[in-house]
Amino acid sequence: MEWENQTILVEFFLKGLSGYPRLELLFYVLVLIMYVAILLGNGTLILISILDSHLHTPMYFFLGNLSFLDICFTTVSIPPMLVSFLSEKKTISFSGCAVQMFLGLAMGTTECVLLGMMAFDRYVAICNPLRYSVIMSKGSYVPMAAGSWIIGVVNSTVQTGCVVQLPFCRNNVINHFTCEILAVMKLACADISRNEFIMLVATTLFIMTPLLLIIISYTLIIINILRIRSSEGRSKVFSTCSAHLTVVIIFYGTILFMYMKPKSKETHHSDDMDATDKLVSGFYGVIAPMINPLIYSLRNRDVKEAVKHLLRRKNFNK
């Protein structure tokens, strides 16, 4: 493959929904409403997990981290997306693109690992309840959460560092709403097999390994639940982990669809991104963080009681 008249790119063009102004306006309104819902929903979860002493447990500490993560993740991608919907200039600087790649990948990796930690927490709570306070002490769950963030930063630093060192030539059109790392890699006028190998290793370590931990944890949880004789007891135990399991299915289901499906129709110069890919990407980046707090609040009695208590206290102070 020949690359002529190579130049150093200083900016990228984010294609997104370019060419469909009416559709862009519709998406702007929808995404803005969803972003406000994300901030309010996840912000409320963080607030009640801090203010309500009954929620000072490992599960809600992880949940607070997850909510903060969703706020950070969407704040990295949604505001620039909203600006691009209303602006004729849909470019982003090379450095800005690198920052967006780094933060997006760091948050995504951290969430994968954090969901694995939360599955382990549910396993200990259900299968080893008498030892729960010992195994999941503050000296354990705080380093577990901190480790999730560190893993995310390290993984993103390595992968983003490898991508920004690639040479980029004439083609600067990213067929995406944001600087998604795979979309940027495909624009490089060089062999990206090394980057693909690093991504494969990282995917195995930081996406598939937590998924394996989740599968093992919930397999043991289901076995434990089936041993309970009363249907009421089984339902009560399952309700303690159903919200997390729902979030895991949505999160990993979307990721596996996006990155594990066959790419036989794509070529190195392909400018056509399947419409389904964009919809799924939007679902992963906007809708999932919006519905996470809804899932935890609607399917969790403790959270609903904490919200009611907080509202009652606020009304009483008035």
Spell out the domain ranges in the chain.
Answer: 11-259+282-295
Residue 36: pLDDT over 90: yes
CATH topology for 11-259+282-295?
Rhopdopsin 7-helix transmembrane proteins (1.20.1070)
Distance separating alpha carbons of residues 68 and 149, to the nearest angstrom:
12
| pLDDT in the model for residue 12 | 81
| pLDDT in the model for residue 33 | 92
Displacement of CA 315 from its chain's centroid (Å): 35
Band (305; pLDDT cuts 50, 70, 90): confident
Distance separating alpha carbons of residues 13 and 188, to the nearest angstrom:
14
| pLDDT in the model for residue 181 | 84
Distance separating alpha carbons of residues 180 and 105, to the nearest angstrom:
8
Mean pLDDT (whole number) for 41-67? 88
Q: Is the dihedral of CA 270, 206, 296, 38 positive or negative?
A: negative
pTM for this predicted structure: 0.84
Q: Cβ(156)–Cβ(109) under 8 Å?
A: yes
**Listed residue (182, 197, 174, 162) closest to 9, CA to CA:** 174
Residue 68: pLDDT over 90: yes
User: Could you give the residue ranges of the DSSP H alpha helices within the chain?
Assistant: 21-51, 58-86, 94-127, 132-135, 138-164, 181-185, 193-203, 209-226, 231-260, 275-282, 288-298, 301-317
Strand partners for 11: 93
Residue 153: pLDDT over 60: yes
Mean pLDDT (whole number) for 50-68? 88
Q: How many CB atoms lie within 10 A of CB 226?
A: 9
Distance separating alpha carbons of residues 303 and 293, to the nearest angstrom:
10
Phi, psi at residue 187, to the nearest 5°?
-85, -10
Q: Each residue of 188-233: pLDDT tens digit? A: 888 888 888 988 898 888 888 999 999 999 999 999 888 888 888 7
For 8, residues 6+ apart whose C-beta sits below 8 A from its C-beta are 168
Distance separating alpha carbons of residues 120 and 115, to the nearest angstrom:
9
Residue 169: pLDDT over 90: no
**Listed residue (120, 130, 114, 25) closest to 65, CA to CA:** 114
Band (30; pLDDT cuts 50, 70, 90): confident
Integer angstrom CA distances of residue 170 from 24, 113, 144, 222, 268: 27, 37, 44, 54, 14
| pLDDT in the model for residue 6 | 47
| pLDDT in the model for residue 143 | 95
Helix 288-298 × helix 231-260 angle, to 10°: 180
Q: Cβ(14)–Cβ(178) under 8 Å?
A: yes
| Residue 281 burial (C-beta neighbours within 10 Å; 0-12, 13-18, 19+) | buried
| pLDDT in the model for residue 267 | 41
Q: Cβ(47)–Cβ(71) under 8 Å?
A: no
Q: Cβ(72)–Cβ(108) under 8 Å?
A: no
Q: Each residue of 233-290: pLDDT tens digit? A: 788 778 778 888 888 888 887 776 665 555 544 444 444 455 556 556 666 678 888 8
Band (1; pLDDT cuts 50, 70, 90): very low
